[in-house]
Amino acid sequence: MNQAERLIIFDTTLRDGEQSPGASMTKEEKLRIAIALERMRVNVIEAGFPAASSGDYEAVRAVAEGVRESRVCALARAREADIDRAAVAIESAAAGRIHTFLATSPIHMQMKLKMEPQAVLEQAVWAVRHARRYCDDIEFSPEDAGRSEPDFLCRVLEAVIKAGATTVNIPDTVGYSVPEQFGALIADLRARVPNSDQAVWSVHCHNDLGLAVANSLAAVMSGARQVECTINGLGERAGNAALEELVMAVRTRQDFFPCDTSINAREIVPTSKLVANITGFAVQPNKAIVGVNAFAHESGIHQDGVLKMRETYEIMRAEDVGWGTNRMVLGKHSGRNAFRSRCQALGIGFATEAQLNEAFARFKDLADKKHEIFDEDLQALASEASAALVNERIRLISFRCCSETGERPFAEITLVLGEEERRASSSGDGPVDAAFKAIDSVVQSGTELLLYSVNNITTGSDAQGEVTVRLDKAGRVVNGQGSDTDIVLASAKAYINALNKLEQADLRTHPQIALL
């Protein structure tokens, strides 16, 4: 594809997606997602905000070292320290990008930056020039562009392109725009900025009004050739434009859109499941493309039509986005090599032989509980193993629960808390409530339970249940995940996982301000 026909997919799941409260990811988890994005052939992966915290910095470095095919991008405010930190974080990338931003709307300049427009323009130009000292691929974003004055926005964009920005990104930071208006804005800016042909035009839309994908597609029709998006539409507040919806809208309607992406769409569903598993943000059943009901037909009329000719009620094939292709089955007779090979294919790596042995032992335990183990099971197993390696202050030793008709449910639990083994028991309104109360009687966490969610990982009565627990402690929100064929045990694991995360230092020390 030539430049006009090529739509660049810029994925910011690891940066903007992580700004969802409770969606913090470890370095290892970010790397697993990055490898999945690379396998999907995402063009640009925004790996994080290196100046925000040491955790973000290390994660960006790990992604830069581990990804070879996709371009790795680091976000930086228009400040010297931020840009310098971003440059070091991506120095090992096969292809790198520095993405710097500065607000241009009157409300942001006056109330947040406390800067005059001319000073903002000069700072933006300085930031791009400083970033060019390190990298020849520079993206600039005028934060809150959707509410900026068009004349001033044109001046800033012309100046940063002249200073060396190779991509200019127009963010709808607060999700305020509507498609006709946003498409017209992109067309107007491209027409009025004299050197607009010297940069790729990009958009970054938020979903506060449910219009992020529609706004992005309107921008594409007006000449934008990069869209910034996230897997499952994850992101701050109501989220970002969903990668899977953007990609399949453009690909399905090639009669309408003048461009296409290089995305391997068969990796969409596996990657969606991986992100949901790691973040604990489950995909709603009726979610377009990746929801379990996206290709289900309940109506008899629809079923009859699909049986006669699929195209009567399906505009795309389920297998083209990865449904039904993720079906490598392992079992209790599978050996270490088959286990390792399938994990590698899924982007699950083991730093040491000891880690492989521990994961293989967990796999064998699971194989004794259920007949067939699918890729989704391995992803859940890897997440649990990764959590065990990082979060070990509170460890589950044994668990027993009793629930019978006419009797109040009762749970007994043995934990290791630091170096001390502790036992506790409690009754509750149900077995899960009893388990949580028994754990909390030992830990004394002082947390508030915000969410308790259960999903089946695969089909069948022997499927693993995956539990997500969201806890709040003094304003800090974390998600915990646990999986097991015993749903009450999975619940206990998830609760302990969340408590362990609260025990750790917060890897994301930056405030959740509106970043683009």
pLDDT tens-digit profile of 479-495?
Answer: 888 888 899 999 999 99
Q: What is the pLDDT of residues 205-240, one digit of tens each?
A: 999 999 999 999 999 999 999 999 999 999 989 999
Backbone φ and ψ of 394, nearest 5°: -110, 120
Quick check: 311 pLDDT over 70? Answer: no
- In this predicted structure, what is the pLDDT of residue 335? 84
- In this predicted structure, what is the pLDDT of residue 137? 98
Residue count of the chain: 516
466 vs 65, higher pLDDT: 65
Buried b (16+ CB within 10 A) or exposed e, 229-258: bbbbbbbbeebbbbbbbbbbbbbeeeeebe
Sign of CA pseudo-dihedral 27, 30, 35, 41: negative
Quick check: 38 pLDDT over 90? Answer: yes
- In this predicted structure, what is the pLDDT of residue 309? 56
- In this predicted structure, what is the pLDDT of residue 305? 53
240 marked among binding-site residues: yes
260 marked among binding-site residues: no
Distances (CA, A) of 107 to 111, 123, 148, 156, 305: 6, 17, 9, 17, 54
- In this predicted structure, what is the pLDDT of residue 107? 94
Quick check: 283 pLDDT over 50? Answer: yes
Nearest-angstrom CA–CA distance, 383 and 29: 8
Mean pLDDT along residues 493-505:
86
Percent of the chain scored above 90 by pLDDT? 62
pTM over 0.85, yes/no: no
Give every CB contact of residue 119 below 8 A, 6+ residues apart in sequence. Answer: none
Nearest-angstrom CA–CA distance, 204 and 217: 11
In DSSP terms, 396 is beta-bridged to 415
Contact 434, 455 (CB under 8 A): no
Domains of the chain: 8-279 (3.20.20.70), 392-503 (3.30.160.270)
Mean pLDDT along residues 493-498:
91
365 marked among binding-site residues: no
Percent of the chain scored above 70 by pLDDT? 90
Buried b (16+ CB within 10 A) or exposed e, 280-303: bbbbeeebebbbbebbeeeeeeee
- In this predicted structure, what is the pLDDT of residue 509? 41
Quick check: 357 pLDDT over 50? Answer: yes
Confidence grade of residue 505 (pLDDT, cut at 50, 70, 90) = low
Backbone φ and ψ of 212, nearest 5°: -60, -45
Confidence grade of residue 427 (pLDDT, cut at 50, 70, 90) = very high
Closest CA to 98 of 73, 80, 126: 73
- In this predicted structure, what is the pLDDT of residue 373? 81
Mean pLDDT along residues 45-74:
96
Backbone φ and ψ of 200, nearest 5°: -80, 135
- In this predicted structure, what is the pLDDT of residue 432? 96
Amino acid residing at 359: A
Contact 256, 37 (CB under 8 A): no
Mean pLDDT along residues 451-477:
84
69 vs 462, higher pLDDT: 69
Average model confidence (pLDDT) across the chain: 88
- In this predicted structure, what is the pLDDT of residue 386? 64
Q: What single DSSP character describes residue 254?
A: T
CA atoms within 13 A on the CB side of 17: 29
188 marked among binding-site residues: no
